[in-house]
Structure formats: C-alpha cells, structure tokens
Amino acid sequence: MEGNGERPSVSQGEADAPSESSALTERLHELARASGAAGTGVCLAEPFRDTELQMQDRVASGASAGLSFTYRDPAVSTDVRRTYPWAERLFVVAHSYLPEAGTPHPSTAEGRVARFAERDHYLGLEDMLETASSALREEGYRAEWLRDDNRLVDRAAAVRAGVGWWGKNTMVLMPGAGPWVLLGSVVTDAPLDIDAPMKRSCGSCEACLPACPTGALVAPGILDANLCIAYWLQAPGVIPREIRVAIGDRVYGCDDCIEACPPGSKILEDAPIRPGVDLVGILRSSDRSLLAEHSHFFIPDRRARYLRRNALVALGNSSSERAIDILAGYAGHPDWVLRLHACWAIGRIGGRAGRAVLVAAREQERDGCQGVGRDRACPAGSVLRSSLVPWSDHEPGRHGNDCAVRDSARRRRDLDHRLGCHGGRRGDG
Ligand code: B12
Ligand code: SF4
Ligand code: SF4
C-alpha cells in the first residue's frame, strides 16, 4: 500500500514476495485511515539535521521569540532517538479538523477561536495514534506516540514521511485538506516500509504572505514569532500595543495565513458557520470554570488571567460602547496586567463614558505601579495620553507589512514577558 497514494513506498523487506513488514505497514495505513486519518506516511527515525539548523538560526536571530516547546532543546526535538534510543521508524498521522470545526462568525462582543481549538481536535488524532500503536505492540514491537510534544518537530516528520509538503506559511499542506491538519507520530522499532517525500511545492503561489495581518511571515517559509498573533495569544505578560490592534476579535489562535491557502480552500468551503465565544462571559466566569471550559488551550501557567487579557483586547477592538461597563470593572482589577489591557480597551473604544472611566482609573493608579515599561507606569494614564493619537495610525493593515507592528514587536523582544513560562508539554498548536 502507498501511504498517501502519491508516491511509492520503499520496501525494506524481500524484493519479490510481500514481506511481513510490508503487510504490517499496509495494515497500519489501513487502520489509521479507517479511524479517520486524512493522511499517513512512514519515515526513518533519523535526526532532522536541517530542521535543527533552522531552529538554531531562529533562536540566534530572535525569531523564535523565546519560545520553549521544541525550541527548549532542538537537539532533542530533532532527534527522536535521544528520547527513544530504540526508534527505527516514525509512522506519521495527519488528522483533518475541517469541515467539522466550522468557520467562526463572531458578532459584536463575541470573540474568534481558531478552528483547530474550537474543541479538542487532538483527541481524534490521539485515538488514531493509539490504534496504530496498539497494533504494533500486538505484533511485539515497541511503540510510543507523540503529538505536539517538545520531543519531536511534527512537521519535519510529516514532510519526510511524504504526508505533505512545506508551505510558505510554514504549515504542512496535504492534498485535499491543505493546511487544516494536526500532526502526530508513532515512534516504533518495527521495520516498516518507508515512504518518499512528496514531490509538490507551493509553486508560484504566495497568497499567505500578504494575508498575515502583522507581516509575521517575513520570508517564504520563515515565521517571526514576535509578530505572530497566534504566538501572542498564548504568551504570558503584556501584549504589545500594535499587536493588540491586529488581534481584532481573536481570543485564541489565528487562521489568516491558512485561510488564504488555496490547497485548503475546498475543504474550508464545506465548513459550517459557527458563532463566536462570549467575551463578556469570559470576563464574568470564575477562574475554575474558565480553565475547565478551555482545558485544551495552551494557557501560560494555566492562569485564567491570560484568557481574560485576550478577551479584554478583543472587546477593546469591538468598538462597542456597551462593553465599557464590564471593562470599567477591570480597570480597577487588582491584577495590573488585566488593569492595563482593560484601560487600553476602554481607550480604544473611546467615547465620553470611557474617558470618564480612565480619568477615575488614573486617580487610582497615581501612587502605585512604578513599573518597568511605558504601559506599566500607569495603565490609565498612558492610554489617556496615547488616545490623543488617532488609532487608525496604528492599524497594521493600512501600512502593509512594513508597519509599526514589526518594529514595536522587535523592541519588545527583550522585555520581561519573554521571561515568563512558555514551557512544559504543549496542549495545542
Ligand atoms: C512552536 C509552535 C508554534 C509557534 C511557532 C510556529 C512556527 N512556525 O514555528 C506558534 C505559537 C506561532 C504556532 C502557531 C501555530 N501553530 Co503551532 N506549533 C508549534 C510546535 C510546538 C513546534 C513548531 C516547531 O518546532 N517549529 C520549528 C521550525 C523550525 O519549523 P518551521 O517554522 O515550520 O520551519 C521550517 C520551514 O521554515 C521550512 N523552510 C525553511 N526554509 C523554507 C523556505 C520555503 C520556501 C519553504 C516553503 C519552507 C522553508 O524548514 C523549516 C524546518 O526545517 C508544533 C508542534 C510540534 N511539536 O512540532 C506546533 C504546530 C506546528 N502548530 C500547529 C498549528 C495548527 C498552529 C496554528 C495553525 C494554530 C493556529 N490556528 O493559531 C498556528 C500557525 C502559525 C504558522 N503559520 O505556523 C500544527 C501544524 C500542523 C500543520 N499542518 O503544519 C503543529 C504541527 C501542531 C500539531 N501537532 O499539529 N505554533
Ligand atoms: S497565524 Fe496569523 S499572525 Fe501568525 S503568521 Fe499566520 S496569519 Fe500571521
Ligand atoms: S497560500 Fe500559497 S504559498 Fe502560502 S502555503 Fe498556501 S499554497 Fe503555499
């Protein structure tokens, strides 16, 4: 059997009769497909040297923005034998979350969650990986699966195993599903037949590059995480001002560079419209229920403050004066990160009521908050000052990709929020 129907498998067994390993390989592909996998492939568990070098470059240039995860130790995440010395093969599985995940269509005071996180779509992938692992174990082989884990760069494995190709938006694209897939691998010592990498590329298409609202795709296939909205919505600390504007109504994840991708357009068309998430609801819920409801999000330190921070920013971008009441409550919140983003949101909405709240908040801040950054000095005061500048001047869309966002985000690289926790096992993409 061919892993993805596009390229021949390379048999490791006898040349004439189908070997035991060929039969097992075929069975695994079939099992995974039967359990819903959009694509499967097998590659050698050799180190991914090119990827390691790319990651070292990103760290050296700062483009990894202090990310931990796979960047914690690229020597480990690009060489699975450092974790599993017995590894011979990676059986890679791609799970498409479209059309089921739908397309978010938030109305005012609703926020947008990227499709991959609409619910925990990794659960389906885990079932597929476990099915394949069990089959291998039943045959007496070792098998462990990894998905979105610090110990393996999933996309490098998927490309080597011929499951898809590198897109210029850095995603792995698959025929049929385009970029709308999550990836995982079974690590095994079984001598499975390997697949050849796919002979495809984006060709002359570059649609994703201008589609990114912040210019985070700084070159084809190169993402500067300092500029990426998906990065900031799951980073600890303060979100830079210009990124806050670019965030729009998003509260988690960003799909713009993948929505623009033609190989995924057909499956995207079939995705049903679904409502957004209730932003005021997020601000009114208890920490416990917020964390329970969004248990599949990566939230730094599992602190509900970061979900609330994101909701404050999205509400600020909603232009809804009706949001001022709930924001006013947060302008006096004991947590300075929330106060700061609430004051910004109020300033962004503007209006007489908002200004009155900020004036009152500034009074409260007068003696405290002599912090490190411009924003931290006084959330309400800095917003009052900067509200004299028309917000449209900060709109990234109006200036193309060489806008203030990039400069500002770069300046922020060395600030304290990078030192926050971004580690541990990931819960999302
Ligand atoms: C860190 C991380 C992030 C970071 C950084 C992303 C990044 N591009 O590195 C942030 C938080 C920004 C992020 C965002 C998202 N992520 Co994420 N993330 C990861 C994680 C944990 C590690 C990624 C990694 O190590 N990258 C290493 C660098 C070196 O890889 P790279 O940037 O792709 O670099 C390659 C290309 O540059 C290529 N290359 C080099 N030169 C050139 C030139 C050309 C022309 C081309 C085409 C390619 C190319 O070679 C490099 C590798 O050798 C993986 C899970 C995992 N354990 O692997 C998920 C993962 C990559 N994320 C995933 C998803 C779904 C997302 C989001 C779509 C979620 C969302 N909707 O918000 C966004 C997409 C943003 C984007 N365009 O990448 C999926 C991607 C699935 C797929 N089909 O590719 C993964 C694999 C999780 C999973 N298990 O499914 N993510
Ligand atoms: S996820 Fe959003 S911000 Fe990040 S590269 Fe893609 S379009 Fe740009
Ligand atoms: S939008 Fe075009 S260039 Fe970008 S990843 Fe998709 S096919 Fe490739």
Q: Is the beta carbon of 185 within 6 A of some atom in ligand 1? A: no
Q: What distance in angstroms lies between residue 240's CA and the mean position of ligand 3's atoms?
A: 28
Ligand 1: residue of 71, 83, 152, 154 to mutate (most ligand atoms within 8 A of CB) is 154
145 close to ligand 1 (CB < 6 Angstrom)? no
- Rounded-to-integer distance, Cα 237 and Cα 419, Å: 9
Residue 382 near residue 367 (C-beta atoms within 8 A): no
Do 190 and 212 fall within a single domain?
no
Higher pLDDT, 372 or 230: 230
207 class by beta-carbon count within 10 Å (0-12 exposed, 13-18 middle, 19+ buried) = middle
- If you take atom 9 of ligand 1, which residue's CA is the nearest one? 223
Atom of ligand 2 nearest to the CA of 215: 8
Q: Which one of 143, 175, 204 terminates a domain?
A: 204
Tell whether ligand 3 has an atom less than 6 A from the beta carbon of residue 158.
no
Q: Are residues 36 and 171 in the same domain?
A: yes
Clarify whether residues 40 and 65 are in a common domain: yes
pLDDT for res 362? 86
Task: Give yes or no: residues 83 and 227 share one domain.
Answer: no
Q: Residue 390's pLDDT is what?
A: 32
Distance in angstroms (rounded) separating the CA atoms of residues 281 and 323: 12
Is the residue at 281 inside a domain? Answer: yes
**Whether residue 381 has pLDDT greater than 50:** yes
Q: How far is the CA of 312 from the centre of ligand 1 (A)?
A: 27
| Residue 133, pLDDT score | 98
Of 174, 204, 234, the one marking the end of a domain is 204
Q: Number of folded domains in the chain?
A: 2
Q: Is residue 418 part of a domain?
A: no
Q: Using the structure block, give the residue that is written with the tokens 């990310």.
A: 67
Q: What's the pLDDT tens digit per position in 411-420?
A: 444 433 333 3
Residues 305 and 320 in one domain: yes
> Residue 155 corresponds to which tokens in the numbers above?
């996309």
Same domain, residue pair 231 and 319: yes
Q: How many CA atoms lie within 13 A of 196 on its CB side?
A: 10
Distance between CA atoms of residues 247 and 341, nearest Å: 13
Range of the domain at 343: 208-405
Would the pLDDT of 42 be above 90?
yes
pLDDT at 64 over 50: yes
**Least confident interval from 12-16, 252-256, 372-376:** 372-376
The answer to whether residues 194 and 330 belong to one domain is no
Query: Ligand 3 within 6 A of 96 CB?
Result: no
The minimum-distance atom of ligand 3 relative to the CA of 168 is 5
Looking at residue 419, its pLDDT comes to 31
Measure 144 CA to ligand 1 centroid, in angstroms: 22
% residues pLDDT > 90 (the chain): 77
Q: Report how far ligand 2's centroid is from the alpha carbon of 44 (Å).
A: 31
Together in a domain, 22 and 143: yes
Return d(Cα 104, Cα 115) in angstroms, integer: 7
Percent of the chain having pLDDT more than 70?
81
Q: Is 417 contained in some domain?
A: no
110 occurs within a structural domain: no
How is residue 412 written in tokens?
Answer: 């922020």
Q: How far is the CA of 132 from the centre of ligand 1 (A)?
A: 24
Position 388 pLDDT exceeds 60 = no
Task: Give the end of a domain, one of 162, 177, 204.
Answer: 204
CA–CA distance, 361 with 144 (Å, rounded to integer) = 54
User: Which of the four pLDDT bands, split at 50, 70 and 90, describes residue 382?
Assistant: low
My answer on whether 96 and 177 are in the same domain is yes
pLDDT of residue 215: 97
The reply to whether omega before 220 is within 30° of 0 (cis) is no
pLDDT at position 402: 35
Nearest residue (by CA) to ligand 1, atom 42, is: 221
Catalytic residue list contains 148? yes
Summary mean pLDDT of the chain: 86
Tens digits of per-residue pLDDT, 231-268? 999 999 999 998 999 999 999 999 999 999 999 999 99
Q: Whose CA is nearest to atom 3 of ligand 3?
A: 206
Is 4 part of any domain? no
**Computed over its alpha carbons, how large is the radius of gyration of the chain?**
23
- Cα separation, 67 vs 420, in Å, equals 10
Q: What predicted TM-score, i.e. pTM, was given to this entire model?
A: 0.90
Q: Which of the residues 148, 154, 224, 375 is marked catalytic? A: 148
Instruction: Clarify whether residues 184 and 311 are in a common domain.
Output: no
Measure the CA–CA gap between 384 and 387, rounded to whole angstroms.
5
Q: Would you say residue 379 lies in a domain? A: yes
Provide the pLDDT for residue 379.
Answer: 63
- Tell whether the model's pLDDT for residue 219 goes beyond 70: yes
Residue 5 lies in a domain: no
Any atom of ligand 1 within 6 Å of the Cβ of 260: no
Residues 153 and 299 in one domain: no
What integer pLDDT is reported at residue 365 of this predicted model?
76
pLDDT the model gives residue 8: 53
Q: At what angle do helices 304-316 and 336-349 cross, to 10 degrees?
A: 10
Write the residue with the smallest CA distance to atom 1 of ligand 2: 254
Q: What pLDDT score was predicted for residue 3?
A: 47
Q: Which ligand has the shortest distance to the CA of 211? A: 2
Mean pLDDT of all residues in 131-138? 98
Q: Tell which atom from ligand 3 comes closest to the C-alpha of 173.
A: 5
Tell me which ligand sits closest to the C-alpha of residue 171. Answer: 1
Indicate if 302 and 253 belong to the same structural domain: yes
CATH number at residue 91: 3.40.109
Residue 179: inside a domain, yes or no? yes
